[in-house]
Structure 1
Amino acid sequence: MIIAVFPGQGSQTPGFLAPWLQVEGAADRLAAYSDWAGVDLIAAGTEWDADRIRDTQVAQPLIVAASLLSWGSLEGGGSVGGVAGHSVGEFSAAVAAGVLSEEDALRLVGIRGRAMAEAAAAEQTGMSAIIGGDEATVITRLEELELTPANYNGSGQIVAAGAMPALRTLAAEPPAGTRVIPLQVAGAFHTRYMAPAVDALRRAASTVAPDDPALTLWSNRDGESVAAGAEFLDRLVAQVASPVRWDLCMASFAADDVTGIIELSPAGTLTGLAKRAMRGVPSVAVKTPDDLPAAQMLLSGADA
């Protein structure tokens, strides 16, 4: 089974959307996405600098818009057997699986981004990636510092989140055998600090009528596939303040005989994790339209 995966926040870079505007109809689609999300996504993806697109309320709809634009440009996408997204990428996966319409997804992501930005502004918090080390030792160290393991990314990477003084202590006194990298994000996402954003998103999601997925759709909560659209939407809301278990998603990919992975724009992060955790499984990172033929070739091989 070939699957499509959709990246989360932090995968955006200045100007990355510019090549996609050469795709027929892209400008019109992005204009609609902008209206639904409440952000000028064309300007954000082509003109704004790194600091401006790092803003949570900009980054989240920008990433989802790019993913959906590249997904819509993938000829042979009907051969994809399953989808998953990392954090906000779950909204893109929900659209690809038929659970949400593009309009509902962009509208909800716009609300999610604004609510998470507001929650992040309430306290000085952040996130740091921890590379390497023994997982149990890392978790124990985080507990000592009252930090939360917000992302279990697999391949020896955990992202810690919480108060800035504790993160600075973590960097100064890391667990044995690890490297700590502060992340350029606005707050402690996927932790209790985001509880107000959960409430805001839940109110907005209550107006949406999701459909059941037409493809296998794995969840960040536990790596399991979800068969009911309403349940997946509930999980989308809750994951704002709960850990992302991408490690468990990749374990499920392996157990479900995934034979190829296509990561949609802005791509590279998830295929990088897969190359280390799922050795031997071919993958394609669709960063620009020039990468579409390689993705289509992978799909055509699955059909042969």
Structure 2
Amino acid sequence: MLAIVCPGQGAQKPGFLNPWRELPGVEQTLVSLSEGAGVDLVRHGTESDADTLRDTAVAQPLLVAAGIVAAAQLGAGTDLPAADVIAGHSVGELTAAALSGVLSDEDAMRLVAVRSQAMAKSAAAEPTGMAAVVGGTRDEVLAAIERHGLHPANINSAAQVVAAGSLDAIAALGEDGPAKARVIPLQVAGAFHTPYMAAAREELAAFAPELSPSAPTVPLVSNAGGEIVTDGSRYLDLIVTQVASPVDWEACMGALRERGVTALIEVAPAGTLTGLAKRELKGIALANLNTPDDLDAARALVRDHAGVPSTADQEN
């Protein structure tokens, strides 16, 4: 049983689209996706430096486009079976919506353009930030986050929670954090997935009626508690709400475990989610689809796992 997962903001790296651009048709695809996003994806994915790629309005469209391109190349010219389940982390949920057919590629790019610009505006309204809290016990970590007036924006795993809020509170958490935990400030523009993004959520809600969601072709796992979504409108509602609500990736991994997933492929720029899966979903096969050189291994994983019942299913 195969899962495809799509990374969130922070996974982007300078020049990471250069290898994909060498494949036939990819540059034309990126130009087309750029039109929907209003961003020059070819230039940013091949030439822009790390500081430019940290811009939310650049990073988010770039990540969605990269996932669409990598997934398309995975199946190009093959008769590979479809994945059994799809999930995305934060903005990766928009990539997942495109890969599953909930949104057309064009609509996914239009939505990520609105999302990224709205979140950038909300982030600029006041100085806020995020920090990863690694280690410690869950109860103590959450208590420390609350004590400093922060919010648990990303629950990434049993050992990693991302706190978000004012910069002063982030600094205070670093000085007075939970026992046996490290507090690592993140290079992001604001307190995403918290009430600080309320205006962005309202902007997305106003834009959403312009989209035409469809039922997904495969089950989708939502960041909202790992809910399995089979209705396109429901998934779109959750994507809108998500910008001001926590991303519960630990629950998403739990949902993959419960479905009996035996293999997981992360589309470009890959590594973050497979890293979490390596620790939390022990024993499953993993593949990073970062460059065209990874295609053969990823396709082999698809052939071996997609459409194959889990061990639990086989025993029932």
TM range (shorter): over 0.9
Stretch moving more, 196-205 or 244-253: 196-205
CA distance in 2, matches of 1:195, 1:117: 12
Q: Show the counterpart of 2:201.
A: 198
Q: Show the counterpart of 1:283.
A: 286
1:132 and 2:135 matched: yes
Q: CA deviation at 1:302?
A: 2.2
**C-alpha deviations, 1:98-141, integer Å up to 9, x for none?**
10000000011011001100000000000000101000001001
Q: CA deviation at 1:222?
A: 1.1
- AA in 2 matched with 1:59: A
CA distance in 2, matches of 1:79, 1:201: 30
Alignment check: 8 A CA contact 1:5 1:83 kept: yes
Q: CA deviation at 1:77?
A: 5.1
Number of aligned pairs?
Answer: 304
Distance 1:42 1:133, change over 3 A: same
Q: Show the counterpart of 1:238.
A: 241
Q: Show the counterpart of 2:110.
A: 107
CA distance in 1, matches of 2:139, 2:214: 39
CA distance in 1, matches of 2:137, 2:129: 23
Alignment check: 8 A CA contact 2:81 2:302 kept: no
Q: Show the counterpart of 1:222.
A: 225
**C-alpha deviations, 1:225-259, integer Å up to 9, x for none?**
11110000000000000000100000010110001
- AA in 2 matched with 1:38: G
Q: CA deviation at 1:155?
A: 4.0
- AA in 2 matched with 1:95: A
Distance 1:107 1:284, change over 3 A: same
TM-score by length of structure 2 reads 0.95
TM-score by length of structure 1 reads 0.98
Distance 1:77 1:90, change over 3 A: farther
What is the aligned counterpart of 1:144 among 138, 142, 147?
Answer: 147
1:188 and 2:166 matched: no
1:294 and 2:306 matched: no
SS at match of 1:9: coil
SS at match of 2:131: strand
- AA in 1 matched with 2:165: G
Alignment check: 8 A CA contact 1:56 1:114 kept: yes
Q: CA deviation at 1:199?
A: 1.0
**C-alpha deviations, 1:162-212, integer Å up to 9, x for none?**
000000011122210001111110000000000111111111111111101
Alignment check: 8 A CA contact 1:83 1:216 kept: yes
CA distance in 1, matches of 2:111, 2:192: 17
SS at match of 1:31: helix
CA distance in 1, matches of 2:238, 2:180: 34
What aligned pairs does 1:1-304 form with structure 2 within 5 A after superposition? 1-75=1-75, 78-302=81-305
SS at match of 2:21: helix
Alignment check: 8 A CA contact 2:13 2:50 kept: yes
CA distance in 1, matches of 2:107, 2:80: 21
- AA in 2 matched with 1:52: T
Alignment check: 8 A CA contact 2:80 2:303 kept: no
- AA in 2 matched with 1:8: G
Alignment check: 8 A CA contact 2:153 2:192 kept: yes
SS at match of 1:231: helix
- AA in 2 matched with 1:142: I
Q: CA deviation at 1:79?
A: 3.0
- AA in 2 matched with 1:67: G
CA distance in 2, matches of 1:294, 1:181: 34
- AA in 2 matched with 1:132: G
CA distance in 2, matches of 1:180, 1:287: 29
| RMSD over aligned Cα atoms | 1.0
Alignment check: 8 A CA contact 1:71 1:77 kept: no
Q: CA deviation at 1:78?
A: 3.2
CA distance in 2, matches of 1:82, 1:278: 15
